[in-house]
Amino acid sequence: MKMAIPYLVLLLAACVALKAQTAHPVSGVYRVHTGSKNGLEIWIVDGAKIREEIYPEFLYGGNGQRYRFIPAREIWVDNAVGAEELSYTIAHEMRERSLMARQGLTYGEAHDSALVSERQLRLHDRVAAGRHEKTLPGVSPTDCEGIKGIPSDPDTVLLRNIYRAYLGERGGMSVWVVDGAAVRRDVFPDFGLSGNDRAYHFIPEREIWIDGQISCEETEFSIELELRERALMMNGETYDDAYEKAISSVRDLRRRAAATAAHKLALPVPNPPDRDVGTGDENNPR
């Protein structure tokens, strides 16, 4: 009997340790695949679901070095993040992951370094946006039907403090994140989630604008909508007809994106779900 107590204690400890390592699966996390970068797959994920079922403190994004429930070759971005924050969040997570995986840095060290890099990107974008605005001529604060949103505005206005970040070129168009609230306040109150140079006279030639306040989950769909709408208008379609056809086309894209996300398997969630020190080995990420 004297040997039974230590044995039971050891057995209980083993059970506790086994439970701590046991994974429970969670499904329905993935929302939209938004491409790959440096061999890593970028996914927009359901942040609210993650906070509810996996990790209550999940914010903005994550990577497999910090969070053990994220697959090793994936970067996650919370779908609550706005369009303006998307590129910065991706850059942050990739920098953090690299430092933890390759140099074995702690999460705190890698996170702080990623914040420094992220701020540099933000400052660069602010300078680039200001420089771009200075090159632009005055524009008409009207839509494609010649309607002026703010009657008191002059016939020509200068775009100032509108641009936020350049997203790159798509289909021969320059895509910019803009301050949608400033556009609605100073230029055109009915500016929606996005726009193009054929739908709005105040958007410069060959540009697409994305409202920085929309969800990052909507960013890619908004860009595609504007590209298709503009192409139809260039072919002689009215704005109303082009818009309806573009909406229908993007609806198909949404369905395909949902089908791709649905094929992702349920995630095993280890306990503990995070780590404080990187693996220091890119080939042994877990």
Q: What are the residue ranges spanned by the domains of the chain?
A: 19-123, 137-260
Tell me which DSSP letter residue 204 carries: P
pLDDT at 185: 97
Spatial contact of 282 and 101, defined as CB atoms under 8 Å apart: yes
pLDDT at 25: 86
pLDDT at 31: 97
Spatial contact of 170 and 137, defined as CB atoms under 8 Å apart: no
Measured distance CA(166)–CA(174) in Å, rounded:
8
pLDDT at 45: 98
HSE toward the beta carbon, residue 109, CA cutoff 13 A = 12
Which of 55, 54, 50 lies closest to 78, judged by CA? 50
pLDDT at 23: 57
pLDDT at 282: 76
pLDDT at 285: 56
Which residues in the chain show pLDDT less than 50? 1-22
Count Cβ atoms within 10 A of the Cβ of residue 275 and give its class: 0-12 exposed, 13-18 middle, 19 or more buried: middle
Measured distance CA(221)–CA(232) in Å, rounded:
17
Predicted TM-score (pTM) of the model is 0.88
Which of 135, 150, 251 lies closest to 191, judged by CA? 150
User: For residue 271, what is the enclosing H or E element?
Assistant: none
Query: Residue 272 has which token pair?
Result: 């503990």
Query: Residue 224 has which token pair?
Result: 């595609």
pLDDT at 176: 98
**CB under 8 A, 24+ apart: contacts of 136-140:** 136/204, 139/201, 139/202, 139/203, 139/204, 140/201, 140/202
pLDDT at 24: 73
β-pairing, 30-37 vs 267-269, is unpaired
